[in-house]
Amino acid sequence: MNRIGLILLLLPLLLAGCPQPDNGKPKPKPKPLDPIHVIGPFGGTADADGGAPVMLTVSGQVTFDRLPVTASGLGGTPLSNPAANVLIEAVRHNDIFAVVGSTTTDASGNYTLNLNLTHDFYMRARATSGIGGNVDTVFHNRTSPPIAHAAVGPILNRAAGSQTANLHADTAQPHNRAGAFAILDTITRLRDAVAGSFANLGPLDVLWSNGGNLTSETYASGFNGNPTITLAGGSKADPLNTDHDEFDETVIAHEWASFLQLTQSRDNNFGGPHAGEELIYSAAYSEGVVTAIGCALLGTATYRDTTGFSGGATSVRFEFDLESGLLPGTGLGYGSEFRVSRVVWDLLDGGAGWPGDTDSDPVAIDAADFFASFAALKTRAAPYEVAWLASLLQQLIDDGHLSIADADTLMQSQGAAFPPAGGDSFPEVLAVGGANATGSLDAYSGTLPNPVLGPQANAVYRIELTSAQAVQLVLTNTTAGYNASAHKLVLSVHDLDRNVLGISDGTAASKNLNLNLAAGTYIVRVQHVPASQAQSASSSFTLAAS
């Protein structure tokens, strides 16, 4: 496969949990969709209001269509599924925000609601599910502010008394209301699958609409202040022939497992696009581990992302077998997200709560044990306190779930070793008051370089402080004939919880940061950020900490 084709195929695997310096201009936002098109009445005639209140009972079932994912793309014949445990609302016929009663469906999508009304009404199912703080909601990302998707029935006359009102979310264009309920069904099943280890994950918001996004991403905090997943809905101009992820369960599971990692484990990924090329170790781990976890929770070794839609041209955009088959992308061992996925899959398969093993690898870690070690990374101290694949392996070893020999066997199969050469060698230690670090970066050199997450564009260090102190960082661009358009470097400092503690991104050749830091470990990033690929040129530097 040529490189351009590979890049295009791998683009759906995206994580953008932390904003990065961006030289581009803001993209114009489309005009928000009127809420009535999402949650309003779509038929029926209201009687005149007034008269004595009417007691009545409304019951029915809520269902949604799911397009099956096949080896050749999305199937054209939808499968009808019950919408389990979703919110049901009775709404005044002439006010889409006037909810006069609500309940939830049961596991079969059935509901019963008692009402006492002086006006006509309609029934509405919302793409939200959960109790207490553990609520999942799929929001329409082309409304402002975002509102939860809905399947809506026609106006009902209260004079008719008790009646049945079934609601169905279908795949009809342009709204494809089934997509929202398919997403909700997937993420709630994933939540249920880890409930034994993580009973209180807190709320999760999903932003999606038909024709509303071109990429899928996970954020630590979204518009509601909650962890948020944004899922691709295809191009608004051509929804039938562009990338949709609402039915691609493994794509959703990758993003959902990123939510799990962000909230329950440690994630030191800076965030950004990735297309199968070699990444810095923390990014390769962050992206690779969630693919393996997500697929394992779904019980499949096949990660599959489709493109197109029923009625258009549908095909498989990207497919990866975590157990066997061709490894896409570049890089070996710790720097390849797909090799990380394969190692983590081999840690899991055959263990209790995971799919069976088919390649006779030497490891099978039960789900409860794996998740206990995965969660322990959140507060891990040195060594391996910055999260990369070696950190997970060492934590599993420390917890008695993995042997060093088996960890090495798995890494040897992916072109590396455990323990890694030099021990805890990532990131390189930058000693305060010690020798200067030196390096050279070129965001656009090498094979399939990544200008955001690739080692060609990043030099990453860690500072370890045993007590609180003031630290000065001085970055000097030593490139002859320095030109900011070609050689610009950005200096930033991050804690282990992904907070940016300081950043210097001006155009000057020399930059410095003065920070008062508590005892602990900090990540220092030097990133090459030229004005454009065409202007990119190799940039050398020195970095001092005092």
Interval 73-113: pLDDT, tens: 999 999 999 999 999 999 999 999 999 999 999 999 999 99
- Beta-carbon contacts of residue 249 (< 8 Å; ≥ 6 apart): 69, 186, 298
* The residue to which tokens 């899991």 are assigned: 348
Q: Which residue has the higher pLDDT, 198 or 332?
A: 198
Strand segments (E) across 391-537: 428-429, 437-441, 458-465, 469-477, 489-494, 500-504, 510-517, 520-528
Question: What would the pLDDT profile of 344-363 be if each residue is shown by its tens digit?
Answer: 999 999 999 999 999 999 99
pLDDT at 29 over 60: no
Q: What pLDDT was estimated at residue 354? A: 98
| pLDDT, greater one: 531 or 7 | 531
Q: Rounded to an integer, what distance in angstroms lies between the CA atom of residue 430 and that of residue 53? A: 75
Neighbours of 533 (CB within 10 A): 10
Whether the upstream peptide bond of residue 449 has omega within 30° of 0, thus cis, is no
- Confidence at 49, pLDDT banded by 50, 70, 90: confident
Given a cut of 50, whether residue 461 has pLDDT beyond it is yes
Alpha helices, DSSP H, located in 194-308: 249-264, 281-298
Supply φ then ψ for residue 163, to 5 degrees.
-160, 170
Task: Determine the pLDDT at residue 42.
Answer: 81
Strands 73-74 and 99-104 turn out to be: unpaired
End-to-end CA gap in the chain: 48
Residue 24 pLDDT:
33
Is the model's pLDDT at 517 over the cut of 80? yes
- The confidence band for 15, taking pLDDT boundaries of 50, 70 and 90, is very low
pLDDT band at 48 (very low <50, low <70, confident <90, very high): confident
Q: Is 195 exposed, middle or buried (0-12, 13-18, 19+ CB in 10 A)?
A: exposed
Rounded alpha-carbon distances, angstroms, from residue 180 to 148, 167, 294, 404, 530 = 9, 14, 19, 44, 39
DSSP state, 222?
Answer: -
Query: pLDDT of 241-262, one tens digit each?
Result: 999 999 999 999 999 999 999 9
- What pLDDT score was predicted for residue 10? 35
**Least confident interval from 37-41, 45-49, 130-134, 374-378:** 45-49
β-pair type (204-208, 228-230):
parallel
Residue 448: the pLDDT is: 79
User: What value does the CA radius of gyration of the chain take, rounded to a whole number of Å?
Assistant: 26
> What rounded mean pLDDT belongs to the chain?
92
* 66 closest CA partner among 83, 82, 78: 78
Q: Could you give the domains of the chain?
A: 1-31+265-425 (no CATH), 35-194+204-241 (2.60.40.10), 428-545 (2.60.120.380)
Q: Hey, what are 544's tokens?
A: 């001092």
- pLDDT by residue (tens digit) across 449-458? 899 999 999 9
- Which percentage of the chain shows pLDDT scores above 90? 86
> What pLDDT score was predicted for residue 30?
59
- Kindly report, residue by residue over 201-220, the tens digit of the pLDDT: 999 999 999 998 889 999 99
Band of the pLDDT at 444, cuts 50, 70, 90? Answer: confident
What are the CA-CA distances from residue 214 to residues 217, 243, 339 (Å)?
A: 10, 7, 26
Q: Is pTM beyond 0.95 here? A: no
387-410: pLDDT as tens digits: 999 999 999 999 999 999 999 999
Q: What is the pLDDT of residue 418?
A: 98
429 pLDDT band (50/70/90 cuts)? very high
Question: What digits encode the pLDDT tens for the residues 275-311?
Answer: 889 999 999 999 999 999 999 999 999 999 999 999 9
DSSP annotation of 356 reads: P
Show the tokens assigned to 279.
């990444």
Taking residues 65-76, report their average pLDDT: 96
Percent of the chain with pLDDT over 70: 95
Q: Which ranges of 124-206 would DSSP assign to H, the alpha helix?
A: 177-193
Which position has the higher pLDDT, 266 or 51? 266
Query: Taking 70 as the threshold, does the pLDDT of residue 16 lie above it?
Result: no
Is the pLDDT at 22 greater than 60, yes or no?
A: no
What is the distance between the alpha carbons of residues 93 and 148, in angstroms, rounded to a whole number? 19
